[in-house]
Structure 1
């Protein structure tokens, strides 16, 4: 191993020993640059280094997998089949909004040395942090069910239907042992494994793109010219809703701590933020291209057809096979390979996120295999139930997916608002707190995402049921939900006002 890449033990303080941390000191990658001796002022980041960029590369690609999970792929194919190329511009801007949120999560993790779940535990009262923990777990379970079902569908495709959905779920459940096995060999080995899965997705969906031969002109117009009609509102909401995943915000704030950063030196923190910004941007550009491949393949083949509204994850492969034929390597299996890579990679990162969420909120210092087993059990037990119930019905799987999308949409404010609250606090972030302009932009993005998902929830519940009992339950839930969101927002506003008042008072006293 190159000396710049070695992982070695570092001294830890007593506070770190007493709390659960994302990575033990012995697990962190120590980055030693050739320019260390030439840096006279550590208040500034040292010059750019390709070698250091390579050493910092990894967390952003693990984060980007949430932009490529089976739920996103289903959103892509439905947007393409129903709306054609017209929502590609929205996919671009939704990814840009997702990048902003993820960069803020990385900023929080690097500047504080703690991840979002840990800071929520410390900054909110007990009742509030318990509600936030439950919401984060529910979001993770919803995402995990989609990911595991996606993997099981891929396994069923690749086995020509020999392996049923429930058996695919069992096989996918065992991936946590792959994760634990690789993690024992170091962070870089785990990151390399995910790089292979992302490359598999890129090759598979690029191959599909090549076979479909979509219109380049329509593709460019779809990206550059905003279009939105009343018939594609639901797909548009789905495109935005699938991009920001609550558990991914928690995950990224923890992943960036896999590199040892001396936070006593402002320049070292800024250096880490610079490199993480570059690698996260590159990772999400790659994920955007893969999502565009999927959307355009289905737009080219199924837009304005009678079956467009009936295409889902379970039957997409068969429709692709009927449309584009077999060839040397049938497109059905190309789709299956890409879907399997998406499902497997996202379920493993879901296990990873679950460990950080549980450990951070509850401050549990459990052995990794035990925490991974608990995390997987939360998702696998309901997923197995779902697989046994819905195995025979593709329509039922689509209905289930809609409910899971709603479940995750509900949770988005409970990751976004705490993130923006914490990343704005000077006593937590120090000089790395976000400024007024970035803060305004971030809150506008958060408000837009919450409003869009609110529309999805209203549309969904208004079409799913009626009656006094159902209406009463929904209204009661909505009241409690809105009240908690207002509480979280009020915490941020109250704190900011109090901080400004104290600063003004200090300035006045000093002048006097």
Structure 2
């Protein structure tokens, strides 16, 4: 479950947050993680109390047409997440091979990795969990290395975490703050978490045992998200310390003979970084080791998030459609859908366009959020579903306000993204789609 808070889309959001706003948006990251934790708690409670995961409850509660629309929206989120994993892994492989393996080659390699995970799955859930633990440890060690190497200012770090204020922040910083929320809270993760808790044996006839299970799942989630939060802080603070308020001219160590020289024109424009450029600049400032260690961390993030999409896709398809596909067939379908556009961009465009896709995918994920949050709050508030464990008044009001806030943030994010493209036809199309989208959200 915590892997969804550490996928390449998240890492991209973290590093841009540090480079654009310095330490000023750390409190937004912390707040988004806490909100994510509370929502994960609701998803886990639903699975523990009912013995059904969120997609199965949606299948029982909604009519056929809205149920199918909801399923398509969640599938779209899973495919978007899959694309981010493919992009992140391809970039990491390209960096590790010093450009010898082209981006499209990295995309093709990531097709194979899913089936390796499926092979691991045959050996049992605990072994797979241990492997995920190993990948998270790799991320903690690699990004922790960058943190120790760069030595961020600890006073600024604490101020950024605990003072919810952004001095001298303009539109780029505000958009980045909104992007953090969209990148941290992942829609398909609610469906995944409500299903993962079913792997543990709970006697649902015994209220005391159900209450105890809810408590320990919450503690488990707190520990998992605390670890992912620390790793996210490593990334934000490294880029805040090293690259905030820097210009392209400051990247003096990328000389004309370097394969990366075209990335940084020698001018006084503000330095813009992404997963690819971030690795190059880290290597530039702190030695080649920093570049390779960064790439290993990104590869671990990309590989681990593979199975998040695989498992949630399996649960969503079975729950919404009562369709029992083999996991192999299901992965083959969604991975093909995710890889095809990514492969075309990797073949015919440069790394700039590939990393630019991550921004678009974060917007897409943000748009899908209500299709997970509204059902999970609705069903955990219904006594007919949750019996004695239904949400109290506080959770209903707080959850409702939270979802309203997230919907408003997402709409702002989408409007800002569309406006930046300067295309009248796109404005009109976006306006029509927004009306349809908001109507369905209101129906839910």
* TM-score greater than 0.5 by the shorter chain: yes
Q: Which runs of 5+ in 2 are unaligned?
A: 249-269
Given the alignment of the two structures, is residue 247 of structure 1 paired with residue 188 of structure 2, yes or no? yes
Deviation at 1:457, TM superposition (A): 0.8
Cα-Cα RMSD: 1.4
**For the Cα contact (< 8 Å) 1:314–1:397, is it kept in 2?**
no
Which residue does the alignment assign to 2:290? 331
1:417 to 369, 374, 377: 374
The 2-side partners of 1:367 and 1:72 are apart by 30
1:87 to 25, 39, 44: 25
Given the alignment of the two structures, is residue 230 of structure 1 paired with residue 170 of structure 2, yes or no? yes
**For the Cα contact (< 8 Å) 2:245–2:271, is it kept in 1?**
no
Which residue does the alignment assign to 1:186? 124
Which residue does the alignment assign to 2:432? 476
Q: Secondary structure at the match of 2:276?
A: coil
Which residue does the alignment assign to 1:257? 198
* Cα distance per residue 1:203-242 (max 9 Å; x no partner): 0011110000111111111111122222410111111111
**For the Cα contact (< 8 Å) 1:105–1:253, is it kept in 2?**
yes
Which residue does the alignment assign to 1:315? 277
The 2-side partners of 1:172 and 1:76 are apart by 23
Deviation at 1:309, TM superposition (A): 4.6
Q: Secondary structure at the match of 2:420?
A: helix
* Cα distance per residue 1:441-472 (max 9 Å; x no partner): 122221111111111011111221332x3333
Give the structure-2-normalised TM-score.
Answer: 0.92
**For the Cα contact (< 8 Å) 2:419–2:427, is it kept in 1?**
no
Deviation at 1:410, TM superposition (A): 1.2
**For the Cα contact (< 8 Å) 1:120–1:418, is it kept in 2?**
yes
Aligned CA distance change for structure 1 residues 370 and 466 (closer, same or farther; 3 Å): closer
Q: Which runs of 5+ in 1 are unaligned?
A: 1-62, 489-512
The 2-side partners of 1:80 and 1:315 are apart by 14
* Cα distance per residue 1:357-399 (max 9 Å; x no partner): 1111111122232233233233223332332233xx2332243
The 2-side partners of 1:140 and 1:198 are apart by 21
**For the Cα contact (< 8 Å) 1:140–1:247, is it kept in 2?**
yes
Q: Secondary structure at the match of 1:270?
A: helix
Q: Secondary structure at the match of 1:349?
A: helix
**For the Cα contact (< 8 Å) 1:237–1:452, is it kept in 2?**
yes
Which residue does the alignment assign to 1:150? 88
Which residue does the alignment assign to 2:324? 365
Listed as ranges, the matches of 1:403-414 within 5 Å are 403-414=360-371
Deviation at 1:346, TM superposition (A): 0.5
Given the alignment of the two structures, is residue 98 of structure 1 paired with residue 36 of structure 2, yes or no? yes
Which residue does the alignment assign to 1:139? 77
Which residue does the alignment assign to 1:77? 15
Given the alignment of the two structures, is residue 343 of structure 1 paired with residue 302 of structure 2, yes or no? yes
Which residue does the alignment assign to 2:402? 445
Deviation at 1:74, TM superposition (A): 0.5
2:64 to 126, 144, 147: 126
Q: Secondary structure at the match of 2:275?
A: coil
The 1-side partners of 2:316 and 2:341 are apart by 19
Which residue does the alignment assign to 2:266? none
The 2-side partners of 1:138 and 1:309 are apart by 33
Given the alignment of the two structures, is residue 216 of structure 1 paired with residue 178 of structure 2, yes or no? no
2:223 to 276, 282, 285: 282
Count of residues paired in the alignment: 420
Which residue does the alignment assign to 2:211? 270
The 1-side partners of 2:428 and 2:22 are apart by 38
Which residue does the alignment assign to 2:252? none
The 2-side partners of 1:380 and 1:357 are apart by 20
Aligned CA distance change for structure 1 residues 306 and 316 (closer, same or farther; 3 Å): same
Q: Secondary structure at the match of 1:464?
A: coil
Which residue does the alignment assign to 2:259? none
**For the Cα contact (< 8 Å) 1:78–1:309, is it kept in 2?**
no
Deviation at 1:350, TM superposition (A): 1.2
The 1-side partners of 2:242 and 2:114 are apart by 36
Q: Which has the higher contact order (CA 8 A, sep 6+)?
A: 2
